[in-house]
Amino acid sequence: MVPPTSRLSFDLYSFSSVQFLLYTMADNVGHLLANLQFTEDETSDVLLPGSSVRSIDAIMKFWVVGYLFTTAPVDGDSLIWVFRSIWGMTRVTDISTSGPHHFLIRFTSAATKAILIDRTLWLFNGDLLAITSYRPDSCLDDYDFSSLAIWIRVYDVPLGWMTQYLSNLIARRLDTPLAIDLRPGAGRMGSYLRIRVAIDVRKPLRPCLAVGRRSNGRPSLYMLWYERLHSFCGRCGVIGHLIVSCPS
């Protein structure tokens, strides 16, 4: 019988050998790709006629590409049914899956498309669905969903500081300012500031923000609440997974 320590040493040796083999294969493949030569025919461009490009643009101008921020498997049929119901059967002519987390959606008009892209966040089972205009010259991996417009409520702001200036200052601290809502009314002025910011969703969301100091010398700490954004990690603050599946 082989002692456990011997088996462990053998396993480590085997693992190291396999790892070395993989590294060697990767180096060889990289060397081959670096020295790969193409013929003139292989590198020549294939250009579509202008009429074909215009025809594609005309067909796809009502389409958007959607991406669901989640690491879990997606029930595409359920998502299609939910958003047909939310947006209205008369507004949506087609929704189809285009990968594990990508979707192609066609609206009935450019006006409907613009309105739904501009509106606040869309959610499916608590996960964020981002949509952007279809581009005929782009692959799915070319679409960048990292910057999203989100309405944020800023709490614990002194009444005298609920101004356009402070709203702009806070918005710039968070990312790119888009809009400021200073309208009075129940649950608005006096309770919180409301700003719309294009934030980088690859970065952790801030739970609070310190701006200046109060009269007692303590930092002015403002709590942040992201409207309609319920599914993000409470540990790392990143959108797309919950704390139970956090990789960090």
Are 119 and 202 found together in one domain?
no
Q: The domain containing residue 86 runs over which residues?
A: 50-142
Taking only the tens place, the pLDDT of each residue in 181-195 is 887 665 556 688 899
* pLDDT at position 196: 92
Model's pTM, two decimal places?
A: 0.65
Asked whether residue 236 falls in the same domain as residue 152, the answer is yes
Q: Strand, helix or coil at 120? A: coil
Average pLDDT over residues 5-24: 46
Q: What CATH number does the domain containing 114 carry?
A: 3.30.70.330
pLDDT of residue 2: 46
**Is residue 197 scored above 90 in pLDDT?**
yes
What's residue 12's pLDDT? Answer: 40
User: The tokens 């409907």 sit on which residue?
Assistant: 112
pLDDT in tens, 153-179: 999 888 888 888 989 999 999 999 999
Based on the fold, state whether residues 124 and 183 are members of the same structural domain.
Answer: no
Query: pLDDT tens digits, residue range 126-137?
Result: 788 888 888 888
How far, in Å, CA of 118 to CA of 22, rounded?
48
Can you read off the two tokens belonging to residue 73?
A: 């498997």
Query: Domain for residue 235, yes or no?
Result: yes
Number of domains in the chain: 2
Percent of the chain with pLDDT over 90: 8
**Which pLDDT score is estimated for 69?**
86
Q: What is the CATH number of the domain that holds 211?
A: 3.30.70
**Same domain (yes/no): 156, 192:** yes
Give percent helix, percent strand, percent coil of the chain, each to the nearest 5: 35, 25, 40
**Are residue 153 and residue 182 in the same domain, yes or no?**
yes
Do 156 and 241 share a structural domain? yes
Domain boundary, last residue among 142, 160, 194? 142
Same domain, 106 and 163: no
For residues 124 and 173, membership in a common domain is answered with no
Q: CA–CA distance from 153 to each of 50, 169, 224 (Å)? A: 48, 14, 6
Q: Are residues 153 and 240 in the same domain?
A: yes
